[in-house]
Structure 1
Amino acid sequence: MNCLIDETISLDNLQKLKLAFKEFERGGSRSIDAKCFGRIVKKCLGLPKTSNAQIQGLFKKIDFLGQGQISWGEFCTHMMHEYKEKQETVRRSKQVAFTLPASMKTLCHGIPIVNIHSSHDGTIVTVREDGVVCCCSPELKPLKTKHLFNEGPASRKSKWASDFILMTEFNKLMIGTGDREIQLYELSTLEPYCQINALETVPLTLDFGCTGPDKCYIVYGDTEGCVTIIIISSVGDTLRLWNKLPEIENMPNIAIDDAVLFPNVTFVRWKVHQDWITQAKYFHSFQAVVSSSKEESTSLVIGRVLPLTDAEQQLDDIREACYEGKTKKIQLSWTPQLRASCDQTVFNISKGVKTFDLCQKHSLLVTGGMDRLIRMWNPHFSGKPNGILKGHSAPITYLHIIPENGQIFSVSIDCTVKIWDIQDQCCLFTADSQASGIHGDISACSYSSAVKSFYFAADCIAVLSLKIRPRLHSRLTVSHDETVMCCGYSEEFRQVVSCSEGSVVKVWDFDTGRQLFEFGGTHDQSAITCMAFDAKGRRLITGGRDGCVKIWNFNNGQCLKTLRKDDECHEVCDCIFLQVHRTFYVMSVGRDRKIDIYPDIPEGLHHVQRPQPSWQDDLKSGHKEDILCVAQCPPSLLATSSYDGEIIVWNVISGRIRCRLVSPLLAEHQNVEGLDTSVPSIIFFKNSKLQHFSSATALLSAGAMGCINIWNVLSGSKLAGSFKASKFQQKITKLAKTAKDTLLYAADRIGYIYVYNMEKFTAGQKSPRAEGFWRAHTSRITGLQIVDNDQVVLTSSTDYTVRLWSAHGEYIGTFGQSESWSVHISSSWKHPAVPYEVLIDPLSMPHHEILNVKISSDDIDTDKTGAHKGELKALSWNSQAC
Structure 2
Amino acid sequence: MLPLPSQVKNLLLTGGMDRIIRVWNPYLPGKPTGMLRSHTAPVIYIHISSEDNKVFSMSTDNTVKIWDLETHSCLFTASSKASGIKGELTTCLYLPGPRALCVATDAMAFLHLKLRSAPDPHLVLSHREPVVCCRYNPTFRHVVSCCEASMVKVWDFETGRQLSEFWGTHGNTSITCLTFDSSGRRLITGGRDGCVKIWSYNNGHCLHTLQNDEKQTEVCDCTYMEVNQNRCIIAVGWDRRINMYFDISRDFHHFWKPQPCWQDDLNHGHKEDILCVAQCPPFLLATSSFDGEIIVWNVISGHMYCKLNTPSPLDVVDHREGLDRSVSRLAFLKTRAAKLDPAAASLITNGPGGSVTFWKLFSGAGLIANFTPSRGKAQVSSIAVTTGDTLTYLADQQGFVHVCDIQEYGLQGPELQAPKTVTFWRAHTSMVTSLELIEEENIVLSSSLDCTVRLWSKDGAYIGTFGQNNPWDIFTPASWSHLGVPFEILADPQSMPAPLVLETDIPTGNSEGQEEQDNRREEKAWSEVCA
Length-normalised TM-score, structure 2: 0.71
| Mapped partners of 1:811, 1:599: distance in 2 | 40
Find the partner of 1:608 among 255, 262, 282. Answer: 255
Q: 1:547 to 1:532 in 2, by over 3 A?
A: same
Question: Once structures 1 and 2 are overlaid, which stretch shifts more, 810-819 or 734-743?
Answer: 734-743
Cα separation, 2, equivalents of 1:566 and 1:751: 39
Aligned to 1:473, the other structure's residue is in SS state coil
Q: Does 1:508 align with 2:145?
A: no
- What pairs with 1:450-529 in structure 2 (closer than 5 Å)? 467=71, 471-529=118-176
Match of 1:824 in 2: 475
Q: Do the aligned partners of residues 810 and 843 (structure 1) sit closer, same or farther apart at CA in structure 2, a change above 3 Å counting?
A: same
- The structure 2 residue matched to 1:649, chosen from 296, 316, 327, is 296
Q: Which residue of 1 aligns with 2:381?
A: 733
SS at match of 2:421: coil
The equivalent residue for 1:687 is 335
Q: Which runs of structure 2 are paired with 1:238-637 in the superposition (5 Å)? A: 467=71, 471-637=118-284
**Separation in 2, partners of 1:619, 1:688:** 30
Amino acid of the structure 2 residue aligned with 1:728:
G
Cα deviation, residue 761, structure 1:
1.6
Alpha-carbon separation, structure 1, partners of 2:283 and 2:25: 56
Whether 1:777 aligns to 2:424 is no
Q: Secondary structure of 1:760's partner?
A: coil
Q: Does 1:791 align with 2:439?
A: no
Aligned-residue sequence identity (percent) comes to 47
Instruction: Quote the Cα distance in structure 2 between the aligned partners of 1:690 and 1:622.
Output: 24
Q: Distance in 1 between matches of 2:240 and 2:294?
A: 12
Residue aligning to 1:757: 405
Report the RMSD for the aligned CA atoms in angstroms: 3.0
Flag the 1:691–1:760 CA change in 2: closer, same or farther, 3 A.
Answer: farther
Counterpart of 1:682, as a letter, is L
- Which amino acid is 1:489 matched to? Y
The superposition leaves residues 41-80 of structure 1 with CA deviations (integer Å, 9 ceiling, x where unpaired) of xxxxxxxxxxxxxxxxxxxxxxxxxxxxxxxxxxxxxxxx
- Give the Å deviation of 1:719: 1.2
Identify if the C-alpha distance between structure 1 residues 469 and 104 changes in structure 2 by more than 3 Å, giving closer, same or farther.
closer
Q: CA deviation at 1:620?
A: 1.0
Find the aligned partners of 2:337 and 2:183 in 1 and give their Cα distance. 30
Assess if the C-alpha contact under 8 Å between 1:643 and 1:679 holds in 2.
yes
Deviation at 1:672, TM superposition (A): 8.7
Change in CA separation of 1:104 and 1:694 when aligned onto 2, cut-off 3 Å: closer
Paired residues of 1:687 and 1:697 also in contact (CA < 8 A):
no
Amino acid at match of 1:804: L
- Give 1:741 deviation, angstroms: 2.3
Q: Do the aligned partners of 1:747 and 1:781 also contact (CA within 8 Å) in 2?
A: yes
Partners of 1:843 and 1:850 within 8 A in 2: no
Deviation at 1:650, TM superposition (A): 0.6
Counterparts of 1:101 and 1:663 in 2: how far apart (Å)? 44
Which AA in structure 2 matches 1:556? Answer: N
8 Å CA contact 2:291, 2:325 repeated in 1? yes
Cα distance 1:502–1:615, how it changes in 2: closer, same or farther (>3 A)? same
Aligned in 2, Cα 1:733/1:773: closer, same or farther, shift over 3 Å? same
Equivalent position to 2:347, from 699, 703, 724: 699
Query: Which one-letter code corresponds to 1:520 in the other structure?
Result: W
Deviation at 1:666, TM superposition (A): 5.1
Provide the secondary structure at the position in 2 that maps to 1:574. strand
Contact 1:483 1:800 in 2 (8 A): yes
Partner Cα separation in structure 1 for residue 340 and residue 352 of structure 2? 23
Report the equivalent of 2:323.
675
Checking the alignment, whether the CA contact within 8 Å between 1:593 and 1:623 is kept in structure 2 is yes
The alpha-carbon deviation at position 603 of structure 1 amounts to 3.1
Q: Which amino acid aligns with 2:158?
A: D
Paired with 2:244 and 2:329, the residues of 1 have a C-alpha distance of 20
Query: Of 330, 353, 367, which residue of structure 2 is paired with 1:719?
Result: 367
Letter paired with 1:549:
V
What is the DSSP-based 3-state SS (H/G/I as helix, E as strand, rest coil) of the residue aligned with 1:565?
coil
Residues 1:848 and 1:667: Cα distance change in structure 2 (over 3 Å): closer
- Report which of the two structures shows the higher radius of gyration computed on alpha carbons: 1
Tell me if the contact between 2:405 and 2:419 (Cα under 8 Å) persists in the aligned partners. Answer: no
Q: 1:729–1:603: structure 2 CA closer, same or farther, 3 Å change rule?
A: same
Aligned-partner Cα distance in 2 for 1:843–1:478: 20
Separation in 2, partners of 1:691, 1:758: 17
Structure 1: runs of 5+ lacking an equivalent: 1-98, 106-138, 140-429, 437-450, 453-464, 854-882
1:100–1:435 CA contact under 8 A, matched in 2: no
Q: Given the alignment, which residue of 842, 857, 863 partners 2:493?
A: 842
Tell me, what secondary structure is at the counterpart of 1:789? Answer: helix
Conserved? CA contact 1:822–1:829, under 8 Å: yes
2:315 aligned counterpart, secondary structure: helix
Paired amino acid for 2:250? E
Corresponding letter in the other structure for 1:506: K
2-structure distance, mates of 1:685, 1:101: 53
Q: Deviations 1:351-370 (Å, cap 9, x if unpaired)? A: xxxxxxxxxxxxxxxxxxxx
Cα displacement string for residues 73-93 of structure 1 (whole angstroms, at most 9, x for unaligned residues): xxxxxxxxxxxxxxxxxxxxx
Cα distance 1:765–1:771, how it changes in 2: closer, same or farther (>3 A)?
farther
- TM-score if structure 1 supplies the norm length? 0.44
Q: Is the 8 A contact 1:752 1:775 kept in 2?
A: yes
Describe the superposition over 1:657-715 as per-residue Cα deviations: whole angstroms up to 9, x where unpaired.
11100011354344595432111101110335999954766011112222211111122
Q: Distance in 2 between matches of 1:468 and 1:498?
A: 21
Relative distance call for 1:432 and 1:779 in structure 2 (3 A) is closer
Instruction: Spell out, residue by residue over 1:452-479, the C-alpha distance to the aligned partner (whole angstroms, 9 max, x if none).
Output: 9xxxxxxxxxxxx865657431441111
Distance in 2 between the 1:599 and 1:434 partners?
Answer: 43
Displacement of 1:740: 2.2
Residue 723 of structure 1: how far off its partner (Å): 2.0
- For CA contacts below 8 A with separation 6 or more, give which structure has more relative contact order: 2
Deviations 1:735-782 (A, max 9, x none): 111222221111111111111121132432332221111110111111
In structure 2, how many angstroms separate the alpha carbons of the residues matched to 1:604 and 1:691? 37
Query: Alpha carbons of 1:434 and 1:828: their partners in 2 closer, same or farther (altered >3 Å)?
Result: closer
In 2, Cα distance between equivalents of 1:849 and 1:807: 20
Q: Deviations over 1:310-360 (max 9, x none)?
A: xxxxxxxxxxxxxxxxxxxxxxxxxxxxxxxxxxxxxxxxxxxxxxxxxxx
- For 1:540 and 1:633, locate their aligned partners in 2 and report how far apart those are by CA, in whole Å: 20
1:864 is matched with none
Higher helix share: 1
**Separation in structure 2 between the aligned mates of residue 690 and residue 616 of structure 1, nearest angstrom:** 26
Q: Cα gap change, 1:600/1:749 in structure 2, threshold over 3 Å: closer, same or farther?
A: same
